Amino acid sequence: MQEKKKREVIIACDFQDASGVYGFLALFGNERPFLKIGMELFYAAGPDLVRDLKSRGYRIFLDLKLHDIPNTVKKAMAVLSGYGTDICNVHAAGGIDMMKAAREGLSRPDGRDPLLIAVTQLTSIDQRRLKDELLIDRPVSDVVSEYAFNAKSAGLDGVVCSPLEVSAVRERCGGSFVTVTPGIRFSGGPEGDQQRVTTPRAAKELGSDYIVVGRPITSSDDPLGAYRRCVEEFEN
């Protein structure tokens, strides 16, 4: 099992291709920030990019949000476990059996399983969308904490949620359950498509273990400065 390191900034590398991410990482010199690779970059650059970044010493959260029948997810996770990534994830909406299957698929012979976490509700879903579009008539925080409890029951290590839901998750799942929180914006910055947002400092105060920050860093005129600001507000 990977070490459950507490309080760290993860950069969402939502670039179109490998050259975008290598150009971005060149700004960091020898520094090795924790990276998140999501669907856009993975579908463009594939396993080769993940393996190359791992060989250069980066830690990687491979954010592919698997959601399918248990057998398919188990087999897909067995493939992902070979990449040596540090965090993988599924949608909790796939159910407990699917999450258990993911856990089984991800287990590595050397025992160094990546952390496995579940997306509870996307941080782009607000109360109105939950009710009117997903037809779920419960407060967002209840849905998040109950999906988190399902994830814990299935043997997962934690969840992706908004920092605003961390305390509800902790109350339901206990303090050692990991919370990885996107939806981070600097005060005064644009929110974009995110709905349930906080600043890095507020995320720290609310008890997030990791924050995932994309556009506030990658679209900044000064990405390195924006990353340092996140670290300063969240980690120190």
Known catalytic residues?
65
How many positions of this chain bind ligand C5P (CB under 6 A)? 18
Give, for 190, the enclosing helix (H) or strand (E).
Answer: none
Whichever of 70 and 216 has its CB closer to ligand C5P, that residue is 216
Exactly one of 213, 226, 230, 234 binds ligand C5P (CB under 6 A); that residue is 213
- Shortest distance in whole angstroms from residue 84 CB to ligand C5P: 21
- Residue 159: name the closest of 169, 171, 172, 174 by CA: 169
**Residue whose C-beta lies closest to ligand C5P:** 214
Whichever of 104 and 136 has its CB closer to ligand C5P, that residue is 136
Compute CA distances 109 → 81, 83, 89, 106, whole Å. Answer: 10, 13, 19, 10
Compute CA distances 78 → 13, 88, 155, whole Å. Answer: 24, 11, 16
Site residues (CB under 6 A) for ligand C5P, limited to 172-201: 182-184, 192, 194
Under rule CB under 6 A, residue 212 binds ligand C5P: yes
| Dihedral sign from CA coordinates of 11, 236, 3, 57 | positive
- Shortest distance in whole angstroms from residue 111 CB to ligand C5P: 27
Exactly one of 129, 201, 204, 215 binds ligand C5P (CB under 6 A); that residue is 215
Spatial separation of the C-alpha atoms in residues 142 and 120, rounded to whole Å? 10
- The tokens describing 127, both together, are 């109360």
CB-CB contact of 84 with 54 (8 Å): yes
Spatial separation of the C-alpha atoms in residues 182 and 169, rounded to whole Å? 15
- Shortest distance in whole angstroms from residue 172 CB to ligand C5P: 17
Q: Indicate the DSSP class of residue 184.
A: B
Under rule CB under 6 A, residue 230 binds ligand C5P: no
- Shortest distance in whole angstroms from residue 110 CB to ligand C5P: 28
Under rule CB under 6 A, residue 160 binds ligand C5P: yes
Whichever of 16 and 71 has its CB closer to ligand C5P, that residue is 16
Whichever of 70 and 214 has its CB closer to ligand C5P, that residue is 214
Please tell me the total number of residues recorded for the chain in this structure: 236
Spatial separation of the C-alpha atoms in residues 22 and 24, rounded to whole Å? 5
- The tokens describing 113, both together, are 């399983």
Site residues (CB under 6 A) for ligand C5P, limited to 87-116: none
Residues found near ligand C5P in the complex (CB under 6 A): 12, 14, 38, 63, 119, 122-123, 160, 182-184, 192, 194, 212-216
